[in-house]
Structure 1
Amino acid sequence: MKSVTDRPLSHGLFRLLMPLGLSLAAGSSGAALFGDDEARRAILELRQRVETLQRQMQSQTQSQFQAQADEITQLRTSLLDLQSQIDALKADLARARGQNEQLARDLSELQKRHKDVQIVIDDRLRRFEPLKVTLDGQEFLVEPGEKRDYDQALEAFRKAEYPLARQSLQSFLARYPTSPYRPLALFWLGNADYVAKDYKEALQRFQQMLDAAPAHPRAPEAMLAISNVQVELKDVRAARRTLEALVAQHPQSEAAQTARERLTRLPAPR
C-alpha cells in the first residue's frame, strides 16, 4: 500500500503546501540549527496536516457524489413515476376511445332498431287506419280489412267465379252491415244471383240496393236489371213499369236509353 507521501497531490492541496515546501527548502541551509527530532516532528506534523486535508477533501467529495447520486436517483424515480402516469393516461384514453366507439355503435344500432320498430308500428297503424276510397264518383272511408274483403269478392265476380263471388258477397254483407260498400255489394250479389238463375233472390238484392241508396250512381243499372229479372219471371207488365220508372227517374242515364229501346220491343199491355 502506498504511503500518503506517495499519493499524487491534488491541485488545491499542492497550492496549499507549496509555500511550506519553499520555506523548508529555503531553510535547508540552516538545518544544522535543528535537531533530527525536530525535523522528524515537523515532517510528521506536515504529513498529518496533509492527511487531514486529504480526508476532509475526500469526505466532501464523497458527500457531494452521494448528494448527486441521491438527486439522480430521485430524478429517475420521478421520471419513472411520470412515465407510469403517462402510460396510465394513455390506457385511460384508449379505453375512453374504445368506449366512445362502442357507444357510437350502440347508438347507431338503437337508431336502426327504432327506425325498424317505427316502420312496423306505422305498418300496423295503416292496417287499422281508415282508407279513402272513390267508387262510381262517390268518396268514402272504409277500414282496411273491409276494403280487402270487398275487393276479393269483386275479383271473384270479375273472374266469373260466380259461386265464390256469391258466397264472398254474402259474407261481406253479414260482416259489414253498415259498410259504405253495401249498395255496391248488393248490386253485384244481385248480378251473381241472376247469373245463377236465382231470379227471386236477384230481384230481392236489387230492390234492397235501391231502398238503401236510391240516388246511387248504379241505381239506373239496378232498375234495368230488375226489369230483366221480371222478364225472366214472365212478369212483363212489371218489367214495363220498371222501365218506365227508370226513364222517368233517370232520363239522362245510359240505362234510360236502353230502357226506351226495350219498351219498344215489349208486348203492349192488354
Structure 2
Amino acid sequence: MKTYLNVISFNAVIVISLSMIHSINAYSNIANHKNIQNNITQLKNISHAHSECLINFQKQILLIEEDINVLRGQIQDTEHQLSKMIEQQKNIIQKIDGIIKKKSNLSNNYIDNNVIFHSKNTENIFHTNNDNNQHINDYNKAVSLVLENKQYEQAIQAFQKFILQYPNSVYQPNAHYWLGQLNYRKGNKHNASYHFALVAKKYPKSLKAADSLLKVGIIMQENGDNDNAKFIYKQINYLYPNSDAAKQIHKRLKQ
C-alpha cells in the first residue's frame, strides 16, 4: 500500500512538472512573440520615417528644379534684353556716326580760315602759356561771350578755337555742346546735330550726353525723320533712364 502511494505521488510530481514546463514554454513563446511584434513595429516605424524623408527630399528636389527653371527663364530673358540693348546701341552709334561723317566730309569748311587764328573778334581771347588753368580761363571767357555779352558769333569762334587748342580738356564735351546750342540758335541744324552727336558718342558719361542725344532726336524730328527720332528717344530711356532728358521724351514719343 505504501509503495502504491509512492508511485502515485511520483506520477503526480511528473504531471505537475510537465505542466510547469508547458506553462514556462507557453510563456516563453508569448514573450518571444511580443518581442517579435515590437521589433516588427519598430522596423515599420523606421521604414515609415524613411519613406517620409524620401518624400520630403523629392518635394524639395522638385521645388529646386522649379526654382532653377524660373532662374533659367529669367537669365534667358535678361540675355535677350541685353542682346537687344547692345544691338540698339550699335544702331544708335551707326546713326550718330552717320551724322558725324557727313560733317567730317566737309571738314575743310568746318572752321573758316578767318576763324582759326586771324579773327579780329577773337584774336585776344586766348593767350598761350604754360599755366595748367589757362584752358579753364579760356573756356570761361567763351562762355561769358554767350551769357554776359550775348556775342553769339564771337562765342562760336571762341569755342571752335578752344576745341582745337585744348583737345584733352575736360571741357571738350561742354564746348561741343555750346557749339551745338549756338548753331541750333542760328538755324544751322546740320552743324548743331554734328556737335550734339559728337558729345553723345565721344563723351557718353558726360553730364551733357543725355541732353545732347535728346537734341539729336529733336533735330531729326524737326527734319521730318520721326522714326529715327523716336528710336533715339527710346535709347535715352535705356541709357539715361534717370536723366532730365528721359523725363522730356514721353510727350515726344506720342507725337
TM-score by length of 2: 0.47
Q: Highest Rg: 1 or 2?
A: 1
